[in-house]
Structure formats: C-alpha cells, structure tokens
A and B are shown apart, each in its own frame.
Chain A
Amino acid sequence: MAYKLLIVDDSKLARMSAAKALNALHPEWTRVEAANADEALALAKGGSFDIALLDFNMPGRDGLDLAAALRMENPTMPLAVVSANHQDEIVARAKAIGAAFLPKPLTEASLRTFLQGAVTQLEAAKT
C-alpha cells in the first residue's frame, strides 16, 4: 500500500535529499513538503499525510516542538526527528514524544528501517 510522507526541513537541499531516498525505497509513495513547523501543522489539519520526517534545528519552532504538536493531532502517526545533533537530551525527548531519531545526513539505510517500522505499525492499526 502506498503512503504519503511529510518532509519538514528549512533546507530545500535536505528535503531534496530525503525525497531522493524515499524515491529509491518506495517510488510509488507520494510526499508533501513543508519548510517550517507552521506549514507542517497547517498540512496536518488537512490530515494529508501518514508518516512525518522532521528536521530538528529550524527557525521558529524546532522539530521536537513540532513532533509534540503533531502528536496532539494524531496520537499514533509514525514520526521521526532527523538531526546530526545526537545529544542525549534531544534523543530522549524524541523518544518521550514517541518519535524515532534518525541521524543527519539521512541515509537510505536508516530511512528504510524507520519506514519498515512505520508501515508495520500503520498496517497493524488497520486490522
């Protein structure tokens, strides 16, 4: 089944990089992009994606604040915070929100693992 992935990053290049990895793994999936937390939340109100990848260090609200806000909207959506900043506090906060933590630069291998878990979770929720 094809899902829709939200990619949030203030860097266009980082969004292109995530899109490239997604395309290699699941060419049939679609994606939506947002450059900041506000845009992402506006998309969330429309319920227009199934899984979200969130950059951590962004102007305005950071990726962890955004993850928490998305969690309020949808308690079960698979979320991942993406950052090179693997400080214990940041990884722990992601975990507390129920989001995965993926290292930046994002690799196909780490995205694959996250998406496999996400698909399993989404399929299980349907039955």
Chain B
Amino acid sequence: MNAKPLELLSELQVDALTELVNIGVSRAAASLREMVQEQVHLSVPSVQLVTRGRAIEILAEREISNLVAVHQVFEGDISGRALLIFPEPKSLELVRAITGGDLPLEDIIELEQEALAETGNILLNSCLATIANMLHRSLKMSLPEVLRGDARTFFSLAPPPEAGDVVMFLYINFEVRKRDISGYIAMIMDLPSLTALTHLLDEFIARTTGELAP
C-alpha cells in the first residue's frame, strides 16, 4: 500500500476495502480447495491506486513468462474488471488438478480453455458476490473470457478508460504448493467507479462499526 494516489481514499476506507477483498478471496480459496482437493495458500491482499502504466509494471515485475487470464466484467454502482491470472505453464497444471490427474495431455489441452473459464467463473464470482453482498449492492457479471498475453494486454482492454488514468489495483497471490500452482486475483476499477466506491465503503464502515455515516 505504498502508491501515491491512495489519498483519494481515507485510511479507514482502504482498510475496509482490503478487508472486503480478504474475505471475498478467502471464500474463493475455500471453493478452489474443494476443486483441487489440496490446501490453497493465500497472501495478505494489497490494494493500490496506481496509474495504468504502474499496474502493468507491477505485474510484469512479478511474472516474466506469458500469462493466461480469466477475465470478467462487473457492472452496477461500481464497474470494473476482475482477473484471475496465471503464468501460462501453470494453467495446464491447474486443469490437471481439477480434473483429477488421470487424463492424457491431449485431453487436458483440449479441456484447458473450458476448465479455465469455469474455474475463473467460480473463483471470481465467489469473490465478487461476497464483496457485493457486504456492500449491500448487486453486481452484474459478464461471462468469463480466457485471455492470453502479458500485463499490458490485460490492462489495456477495450473500451478505454473513461476518465483519468488511475486504476485501483487489488492483488492477492494464491498457491497450491503440492501442485506447484500459483496465480493472482486482480481487480481494476476506473476513477468514476472509485467515487461511487467511497460512498459504498462509508456505508459499509458505518454498518460494521455501528456508527452513523458521516
């Protein structure tokens, strides 16, 4: 949490947002654990408000190989994108873990696209639905889409940002150590949504702490 534009949100708002993401991703990890039958380890989530360029750099610093992402757009009071991102070589391992591991390689490759979309759908929905419920809002989620490329591809998807070039970049690392699988969940929101988000966070904080919204 060391990026400059973070002053758009108060310390308590950032705290509340991080906690929402933590709860959302923790539930998603429990779903993934059921799918792969192995423990899933999570990092402490990080929330940053950064420029699009910086978000690309952050992801590029962590992963050099080609990436695969499952991507879903969410719309409602707040709109944005959620991405489940893996280094490309790990995505086949994930499919193998989910399908039970007895399938020959050619079948796994054939199944990869569909299995990734479905896994992404379950994880991202679990995470976003938890967050939406806690904010007392509903979010409409698009169908999952599997993308291949690098950080720049994922963060420059059409349509281009409406205003400003600041995105909220939330990321959390997850690992299935026994399977050597690891990846990230990232969420991106543009500035107009960020203003709406601050109001929702204030309401959430007021409900949680029992105090009236300012």
Binding site for B on A (CB under 8 A): 10-14, 16-17, 20, 56-59, 83-90, 104-105
Q: Are A17 and B30 in contact, CB atoms less than 8 angstroms apart?
A: no
Determine, out of B92-100, B140-148, B153-161, B205-213, the stretch whose residues face the partner at the interface: B205-213
Q: Of the candidates A11, A83, A105, which one forms a contact with B18 in the assembled complex, judged by CB atoms under 8 Å apart?
A: A11
Determine the residue in chain B with the shortest Cβ distance to A19.
B209
Chain A residues positioned under 8 Å from B205 (CB to CB) = 13
Q: Are A87 and B209 in contact, CB atoms less than 8 angstroms apart?
A: no
Main secondary structure on A side of the interface with B? loop
- The yes or no answer to B23 lying at the interface (CB within 8 A) is yes
Chain A residues positioned under 8 Å from B39 (CB to CB) = 87-90
Minimum Cβ distance to chain A for residue B195 (Å):
20
Chain B residues positioned under 8 Å from A57 (CB to CB) = 22, 26, 42, 44
Chain A residues positioned under 8 Å from B40 (CB to CB) = 87
Chain B residues positioned under 8 Å from A83 (CB to CB) = 26
Chain A residues positioned under 8 Å from B210 (CB to CB) = 20
Chain B residues positioned under 8 Å from A14 (CB to CB) = 19
Interface size class of B (residues with CB under 8 A): 20 to 34
Minimum Cβ distance to chain A for residue B33 (Å):
4
Q: Of the candidates A16, A87, A88, A105, which one forms a contact with B23 in the assembled complex, judged by CB atoms under 8 Å apart?
A: A105
Which residues between 186 and 214 of chain B lie within 8 Å of chain A, taking CB atoms? 205, 208-210
How far, in angstroms, from A20 to B30 measured CA to CA in the complex? 27
Minimum Cβ distance to chain B for residue A51 (Å):
21
Give the 6 A-B residue pairs with the shortest CB-CB distance, closest first: A85-B26, A84-B26, A84-B23, A89-B39, A11-B19, A16-B209
- The yes or no answer to B15 lying at the interface (CB within 8 A) is yes
Q: Are B134 and A105 in contact, CB atoms less than 8 angstroms apart?
A: yes
Chain B residues positioned under 8 Å from A17 (CB to CB) = 208-209
Chain A residues positioned under 8 Å from B123 (CB to CB) = none
Q: Are B42 and A20 in contact, CB atoms less than 8 angstroms apart?
A: no
Q: Are B130 and A11 in contact, CB atoms less than 8 angstroms apart?
A: no
- A13 with B44: in contact, given A85-B30, A87-B33 (CB under 8 Å)? no
- The yes or no answer to B6 lying at the interface (CB within 8 A) is no
- The yes or no answer to B185 lying at the interface (CB within 8 A) is no
Q: Are B44 and A59 in contact, CB atoms less than 8 angstroms apart?
A: yes
In the assembled complex, 9 residue pairs joining A and B whose CB atoms fall closer than 8 Å, in A order, are A11-B18, A56-B26, A57-B22, A84-B24, A84-B30, A84-B130, A85-B42, A87-B33, A89-B33
Chain A residues positioned under 8 Å from B103 (CB to CB) = none
How far, in angstroms, from A126 to B11 measured CA to CA in the complex? 43
How far, in angstroms, from A20 to B18 measured CA to CA in the complex? 19
Chain B residues positioned under 8 Å from A90 (CB to CB) = 39
- The yes or no answer to B12 lying at the interface (CB within 8 A) is yes
- A13 with B30: in contact, given A87-B39, A87-B40 (CB under 8 Å)? no
Q: Are A13 and B209 in contact, CB atoms less than 8 angstroms apart?
A: yes
Q: Of the candidates B12, B22, B209, which one forms a contact with A20 in the assembled complex, judged by CB atoms under 8 Å apart?
A: B209
